[in-house]
Amino acid sequence: NVYDANGIIFPEPGKEVSGRAQFEEAVKSICAVPGVMEIKTVYCLQSGDVAVGRSEWSVTDNGKTQVAAKGIELMKQQPDGSWKIIIDHAFGAEANLVA
């Protein structure tokens, strides 16, 4: 699993969830959108065991875009060397989003 279930995820603008059950439900709802998901990493900056990334992602079904957004992710390196996302703001880099 690429997510730290103790972190937070924004599966849609204005909706923040945390905790294992809510986290799993949010990821399932994102994966339930019909079509193929594509994710492009725009950049990833690392300092020690922390990294921040910006992505552009979309879900397309039969040539029609179902959802598309620009996101921001905060990741932490784990003791085994792997990385987990601790904050996933799927819409965090949208120009019209106000924090």
What residues make up the domain containing 64? 3-89
State pLDDT tens for residues 26-83.
888 888 889 999 999 999 999 999 999 999 999 999 999 998 999 999 999 999 999 9
Number of structural domains in the chain: 1
Q: What is the b/e burial string over 32-41, where b = at least 16 CB atoms within 10 angstroms of the residue's CB? A: eeeeeeeeee
Q: How far is CA 53 from CA 20, 34, 39, 45, in A?
A: 23, 25, 12, 6
For residues 8-24, average pLDDT? 84
The answer to whether residue 96 sits within a structural domain is no
Which pTM does this prediction carry?
0.83
State pLDDT tens for residues 72-95.
999 999 999 999 999 999 888 887
Contact between 60 and 36 under an 8 Å Cβ cutoff? The reply is: yes
Cα–Cα distance, 69 to 57 (Å, whole number): 6
CATH of the domain at 72: 3.10.450.50
